[in-house]
Amino acid sequence: MRFETSTIKDIAKALGLSTSTVSRALRDRYEISEETKKLVLAYAEKVNYRANPIARSLKERRSYSIGIIVSEIANNFFSQVINGIESIAYDRGYHVIISQSHESYKQEKLNVEHLASRSIDGLLIALSSETQDIAYLRNLYGKGLPIVFFDRVPEDFDTHKVIANNFKGAFDATEHLILSGKRTIAHLTNSENLSITRERLKGYQAALTKYNIEFRAELVKYCQHGGMHNAELEQAVKELLPLNPDGIFISSDRLTTGCIMAMKKTNPGVAHKIAIAGFTNSSLVELFSPSLTSVKQPAFEMGQVATELLISMIEAKRPVTEFETKVLDTELVRMQKPIGNRFL
Amino acid sequence: MRFETSTIKDIAKALGLSTSTVSRALRDRYEISEETKKLVLAYAEKVNYRANPIARSLKERRSYSIGIIVSEIANNFFSQVINGIESIAYDRGYHVIISQSHESYKQEKLNVEHLASRSIDGLLIALSSETQDIAYLRNLYGKGLPIVFFDRVPEDFDTHKVIANNFKGAFDATEHLILSGKRTIAHLTNSENLSITRERLKGYQAALTKYNIEFRAELVKYCQHGGMHNAELEQAVKELLPLNPDGIFISSDRLTTGCIMAMKKTNPGVAHKIAIAGFTNSSLVELFSPSLTSVKQPAFEMGQVATELLISMIEAKRPVTEFETKVLDTELVRMQKPIGNRFL
DNA sequence: AAAAAGTGTGCAAACGTTCCCAAAAACGTG
DNA sequence: CACGTTTTTGGGAACGTTTGCACACTTTTT
């Protein structure tokens, strides 16, 4: 069950030309007389000709599509990044294929390899929290697949990368808590595997240092699965609360919302007593209770920049050897103060 | 810049066989000796052979991929539907390509036609709130492209459809408000173009009727852009509040969150005085303040069912003529009562 | 022992493009 | 008007598969 469309051959036959001529007219390549070109174009328009992208891909050995790997599309940050990616990709004639790793290394690898076999022209990827071994990416990269990392990037991989200024974002958030008078500030974060985890931890520590607050390792809790499992989060919260933190800095979107949820569930009483600052791109934070201070990443822009870089690699005539790591600034959105004695 | 992989030809050459034999061994078709099959399979495994899906698509005139059109992936409901779709599609060997209409008819049409030209084998679509004219879909459908609608479905289009029990969901939510003592219940809803709008309106009306509450048209506000524009939402809220509703039933995910946001912004004082019940699949509702009663759709399941139906159409040997409309039940999640005098 | 049936394999065409190469047409130029 | 040069066109291979057909060989049937 497939539907018929007119091909270049049909046009050639109808016009008494060769397929090569028609192809040239359509693609506007090489020398071709203005006259025949017009003729062909007019006829193509008339029969509503659409080039078959599959055939084109086969011949040209590229697909005009780029693969995206994120852990979860149901995540404000990532869906905004994807919107940024699309905005550039479509403009430049590329299609995007989105895959989700669900924070699983196995799934991530499977998806990447699936995409690669579908001859994507390039890959945009934010690593899963489980990922430690990126040999399979090196392998593909070595074979010539352009890759640009964003958000969660590996350290020793020579290619373009786009990240937020995680250090500063974390520093600002922590400093904000300190300036509101908090002294026992916990840090709930993602798997140590991730670059963002390490960078944000450093920002957190730097802020403590600046204000002469001792860093206490037991106040830092890692969630290996990035908050995908509720049990993990609740466990972390359960371990943290007995230490009586008066503030908590949380380092990722899902963890932030998940943590508040876990606190409300396990210790509803204290949820409002602890000041929260966390990375999140949710547009709904204003509705949250308890309210929180959030670090917003320029997600849309991150997607755009990463895509520009990727396309530049794809379309480069010679292998690219100069790589850059773009760092984009985050924005601190301060908690809204309660009005009166009601939490609004 | 493209990377080399081994082809069927390479294998044939290495093994001294013909490409046909290799192809048959790989595809496990026709009569082929157990022996050669093993030989080929072993070698293919060794060189990590991956069939080129592009070539296969060209030859077979199908792509093993299905297109998805939703208005927005950054929407809890739709991202859950997509997860459901993926769960089935991948199992059955299909790839999914996601496109967003951003509630724009033009964008929707463009995306669909783009997908069609990329020879997707079938289409799963939830119409944009702007869409009135679906002639272009009929056209493709007439040419043989299998289409299954979900959530937002057209009335007179003979194909499979999967929807939630919108009438009942709306009825339950409205009834809940009534049973909590509300008598002036407003209804904030999407564009009249959408099936879900009409069905939910009926459910709302039925509940009012059951409890002898007069239906007042001025209490119903439509948002043509489905809450994509803040101005639209704020305007609706501004028109609604002077009518002094004590309850409000909201008919979509984005509108629900958007409306609360708009109320808090424009009239923070009353936001907590109006009982809210709305359709939303957000996992974050528990964090919201004011809290609300929500109608949850079985989004994941909806994606699964729609995909099953679509694949059955794709793989049908003869044109399908018997169509079904599956209706899935919604779930009412009652508002959590405030604990003590704090809104938790 | 010959014919029929069954089994495994290879050849070659096809899917719809693009593009190299050569041929043909058009044009200058001495 | 013969020649070179430029412009335009067509032939045909190639991209990596799948598959109808034919052929060769083996086995069964008569």
Residues contacting nucleic strand C by the 7 Å CB criterion are A 7-9, 19-20, 23-24, 26-27, 29, 49-52, 55-56, 58-60; B 16-21, 24, 30-36, 55, 58-59, 61
The pLDDT score that the predictor gives to residue A3 is 58
Residues in chain A: 344
Q: Give the span between the Cα atoms of B337 and B344, in whole angstroms.
A: 9
On whether any CB of chain A is under 8 Å from the CB of B54, the answer is yes
Closest CA to B244 of B281, B222, B269, B207: B269
pLDDT band at B343 (very low <50, low <70, confident <90, very high): very low
Instruction: Kindly state the tokens that stand for A126.
Output: 């934010």
Task: Provide the shortest C-alpha distance from residue A213 to chain B (in Å).
Answer: 31
pLDDT digit string, tens, across residues A184-238: 999 999 999 999 999 999 999 999 999 999 999 999 999 988 888 888 899 999 9
Give distance CA B9 / C1' C12 (Å). Answer: 15
Give distance CA A17 / C1' D9 (Å). Answer: 8
**Average pLDDT of B75-84?**
94
Give distance CA A61 / C1' C19 (Å). Answer: 14
pLDDT digit string, tens, across residues B7-55: 999 999 898 888 999 999 998 776 788 888 888 899 999 888 889 999 9
Compute the mean pLDDT over every residue in chain A, rounded to the nearest whole number: 90
Give distance CA A35 / C1' D4 (Å). Answer: 26
Say whether pLDDT at A286 is over 50. yes
pLDDT band at A114 (very low <50, low <70, confident <90, very high): confident
Say whether pLDDT at A339 is over 90. no
Q: Which residues of B touch A89 (CB under 8 A)?
A: none
- Nearest nucleotide relative to A12: CA against C1': D10
Closest CA to A80 of B302, B100, B287: B100
Cα–Cα distances (Å) from B188 to A210, B88, B200, B217, B222, in that order, read 50, 34, 10, 11, 6
Nearest to B74 among A57, A79, A260 (CB): A79
A272 Cβ contact list (under 8 Å, min separation 6): A289, A290, A343, B342, B344
Which residues from the 4-43 window of protein chain B have CB within 7 angstroms of nucleic acid chain D? 7-9, 19-20, 23-24, 26-27, 29
For the CA atoms of B202, B203, B206, B208, the dihedral, rounded to the nearest 10 degrees, stands at -110
Q: Which residues of A touch B3 (CB under 8 A)?
A: 140, 143-145
Q: Which residues of B touch A98 (CB under 8 A)?
A: 73, 98
> In terms of CA atoms, which chain A residue is nearest residue B2?
A144
The pLDDT score that the predictor gives to residue B337 is 57
Say whether pLDDT at B225 is over 90. no
Q: Which burial class, exposed, middle or buried, applies to B217 when counting CB atoms under 10 A from its CB (0-12, 13-18, 19+)?
A: exposed
